[in-house]
Amino acid sequence: MAVLELRDVKRHFGGIRAVDGVTLSIPDGAVVALIGPNGAGKSTLFGLMMGELELTDGEILLDGRDLRGCAPERRCRLGVGRTFQTPRLFTGLSVRENVQIAMLARAGKPRERRAVSDALAEVGLHEQVAVTAGSLSQGQRKRLELAMVLVQDPGILLLDEPTAGMGVQERATIMELVMGAVRRRGLTMVFTEHDMETVFAHAERIVVMDRGALVADGPPGVVREDARVQQIYIGRQRAR
């Protein structure tokens, strides 16, 4: 059964078709990578799924429920968790306070106070609880944002560039933490990522966008060999 479904989703900015007729079905428990060159429409599609942008046309359904008109905070309460390329933190507050605020955002579903400590332990920040968020490294900021999502007890993770700005070892560490949380909690995950090693190491399914449209969708081995994908995306990466 599809937990998240997009039907002919479109988002136009004047004459620019940033997302142009995307149809996509994400089953429960899937781990899906959304890739494509810069400007392909990936971040716009994430914004539409989270309700940060309004649809020009089409439908987005969560567990069969039409999300049109459903604000981001409501989608959060329905179980959609979202991270960003640049972590959105309360930099003047402590690590613990950031997670406490995130927990309160999931109104209507009270959590035990222990949930904050558990989320921080899950991402390896249990020893930095009193540290100011603004003093954290990029990798630690990514971990903190992940903890802020996990404490809200989501069913779906939308991760926008979870390894952005990291070195090889940091990328491996954050993805190990992410995949551990996905397995333990039985989560569904959709993530965007420019690092192809990360994509092919962790995705069960890869969806490729170019110029607002889907151009490939399938298992990693099939997508890797797709001639069009090699031409418009992977080939460009290798040429850099």
Local confidence band at 235 (pLDDT 50, 70, 90 cut-offs): low
Q: What is the mean pLDDT of residues 219-225?
A: 94
Q: What is the mean pLDDT of residues 212-240?
A: 81
Residue 142's alpha-carbon distances to 12, 37, 43, 62, 63, in angstroms, are 30, 23, 17, 26, 28
Q: What is the pTM of this model?
A: 0.92
Share of the chain above pLDDT 70, in %: 94
- Residues 112-130 have pLDDT tens digits of 678 999 999 999 999 999 9
Q: 1-73+196-240 belongs to which homologous superfamily?
A: P-loop containing nucleotide triphosphate hydrolases (3.40.50.300)
- Residues 9-61 have pLDDT tens digits of 999 999 999 999 999 999 999 999 999 998 999 999 999 999 999 999 999 99
Residues 6+ apart with CB under 8 A from 174: 139, 142, 143, 146, 162, 163, 166
Greater confidence (229 vs 109) lies with 229
Q: Which residue shows structure tokens 């507050």?
A: 93
- Residues 184-201 have pLDDT tens digits of 999 999 999 989 999 999
How many residues comprise the chain?
Answer: 240
Q: What's the DSSP call for residue 30? A: -
Share of the chain above pLDDT 90, in %: 85
Local confidence band at 107 (pLDDT 50, 70, 90 cut-offs): low
- Does residue 134 surpass a pLDDT of 90? yes
pLDDT of residue 87: 95
Sign of the alpha-carbon torsion through 45, 48, 52, 54: positive
Of the candidates 64, 63, 42, 77, the residue with the CA atom closest to the CA atom of residue 159: 42
pLDDT of residue 232: 80
Q: Any idea where the domains of the chain sit in the sequence?
A: 1-73+196-240
Sign of the alpha-carbon torsion through 158, 160, 165, 169: positive
CA-atom Rg of the chain in angstroms: 18
